[in-house]
Homo-oligomer: A and B are copies of this chain.
Amino acid sequence: MKKILFVLLVLPLLTFASDQVKYIFLFIGDGMGMAQRMAADRYKQLTIGEGLLMNTFPVQGITTTWCADHFITDSAASGTAIACGTKTNTGVLGLDADGNRLESVAEMAKIKGRKVGIISSVSLNNATPAAFYAHNPSRSNLYDISLDLLNSNFDFFGGGSFSDLDGKNSKNARGNFLDLARADGYTVTTTREQFDALDKLPAIAISPKLDGDAMPFNLDMEPGDLTLADITAKAIDLLDNDNGFFIMIEGGKIDWCGHANDIGGNIGETIGMDNAIQVAYDFALRNPDDTLIVVTADHETGGLALGYSGTHYESNIDRVSAQKAAYTTFGRAYANLKKDTAATFDDIKPLVTQYFSFKFEGDDGDPLLLKDYEVKKLEEGFKRSREAGTYSPVEVREELYNDYDPFVVELYHLTANRAGLAWTTYSHTAIPVVTSAYGEESDEFEGMTDNTDMANTIKTLL
């Protein structure tokens, strides 16, 4: 009888205790809808023989992403929902729709004595990472957002650099932000040597190579370049301690490639984030009773579909491997050539072959040989690229290309369509995203959840 009483009394306590999880990883694929995950999975299956790790996690649920003022959210409102657990308006960071300050799960973790790390492949004051430490009515107040970072007292930041480093667009500017961070005690690394040598906190590890303020696209990386996985491994090394940690890792350029309808870049970024998840997973295997990994997304970007009218029931997603560079890299090469106003469509052909492997002449059976109607599409795109905004009414331009270069768009659309894929928009969409989880308390993320549940559930585990 005593034994029964013991069980009755102690079990609830044990259950309560097990609700706390020592090590928590929260991965956010910016713009990573189910289609993006499945396209990358299939691509990896066909080219390497195994799919994405995140798709094998035992918990796979569905998460709604709408924000307070739109069915289709932006990354600030959705980032705030994921980070703080409250819906807010488009563009708002760390405040509710009435402007009240919210507490992020990262801030709560810090208060509870955990070490905290914030990692992103884009700039570290971009909307998604900022949602975990900033409180600002506009995601555009970039310098002010950076200043909020200094108030966070978080232990580790890693990934891209900071936009508006010197506060040129802020009335609160008081010098280069990295200098302020150093003065505040942060070790700031900007070279590979510094990164490898980094062994103390607090620290800000900025990618030695940058594409603008962000890390380079995975598709454009060279062997030895610092990856999201490398930064995740470094964060684990530095943040591991007896009180546990909370680490947020964002794959930020999945979204950028979605906006640009760049399928190769998109798949590369999703795989890049999956590689970072592998690092967290390996840690979880070493700490099986103390680790939770949650993988979610803030919204889908691009309206990617795993099917295209011209290819009917055929899919050849491995054909995306013919694409050799992300849209910014090709865009720069093309813009360079375009400066020569006398350059014709024929002059541009070698660039097309170099970056997309497309051939303008060759055997009929060659899958990379462009068909007549495809060449026509490219010619039309090139013509419109030359004409800039003059070729048709604004509504038609919006539908066809938004602000992207028509020639660049045609090439990336062609790459997707030939693989049996298609895009519908250059913005976000409202389709719910997939949330995957592994480890302790992972079943809390089963079924249909809302993005606010991410923060609210994790807060109960701290």
Contacts and interface: CB of A to CB of B under 8 A. Distances in A.
Interface in A419-462: 420, 422-432, 434, 446-448
Interface in A220-253: none
Point out which of A59, A72, A311 has the most chain B C-beta atoms below 10 A from its C-beta.
A72
Interface stretch (A149-157, A201-209, A275-283, A398-406): A398-406
A430 B307 CA distance: 7
Given A58-B447, A60-B62, A90 B431 contact: no
A393 interface: yes
A6 B290 CA distance: 35
A70 interface: yes
Contact of A395 (B34, B373, B432): B373
A448 B422 CA distance: 24
A228 to B, nearest CB: 24
B308 A422 contact: no
Contact of A38 (B59, B432, B434): B432
A411 to B, nearest CB: 16
B314 A72 contact: yes
A310 B394 CA distance: 10
A195 B142 CA distance: 67
A110 interface: no
Contact of A372 (B61, B393, B402, B429): B393
Interface string A25-67: 0000000001100100010000000000001001111100000
Nearest to A58: B447
A35 to B, nearest CB: 6
A399 B309 contact: yes
Nearest to A74: B313
Given A34-B431, A35-B431, A373-B396, A446 B446 contact: yes
Given A38-B432, A427-B307, A371 B395 contact: yes
Nearest to A422: B424
Contact of A309 (B55, B308, B372, B427): B427
Given A395-B373, A447-B446, A448-B55, A422 B303 contact: yes
Contacts of A430: 38, 42, 306-307, 315
A434 B62 contact: yes
A423 to B, nearest CB: 8
A307 B424 contact: yes
A4 interface: yes
Interface residues of A, number: 60
B431 A306 contact: yes
A309 B373 contact: no
A431 B305 contact: yes
Given A34-B432, A312-B427, A447 B307 contact: no
Nearest to A430: B306
A392 B422 CA distance: 21
A314 B72 CA distance: 7
A429 B307 contact: yes
A71 interface: yes
A417 B392 CA distance: 19
A60 B307 contact: no
A90 B395 CA distance: 41
A399 B310 contact: yes
A70 B317 CA distance: 12
Interface of A: 4, 34-35, 38, 42, 55, 58-62, 70-72, 74, 90, 300, 303-315, 317, 371-374, 392-393, 395-396, 398-400, 402, 417, 420, 422-432, 434, 446-448
3 pairs of A and B residues whose beta carbons are closest in the complex:
A303-B305, A307-B429, A422-B424
22 contacts: A34-B431, A42-B71, A61-B61, A61-B447, A70-B314, A71-B315, A72-B306, A72-B307, A72-B420, A303-B422, A303-B424, A305-B429, A306-B431, A307-B428, A307-B431, A308-B425, A309-B425, A310-B395, A310-B398, A312-B402, A373-B392, A423-B424
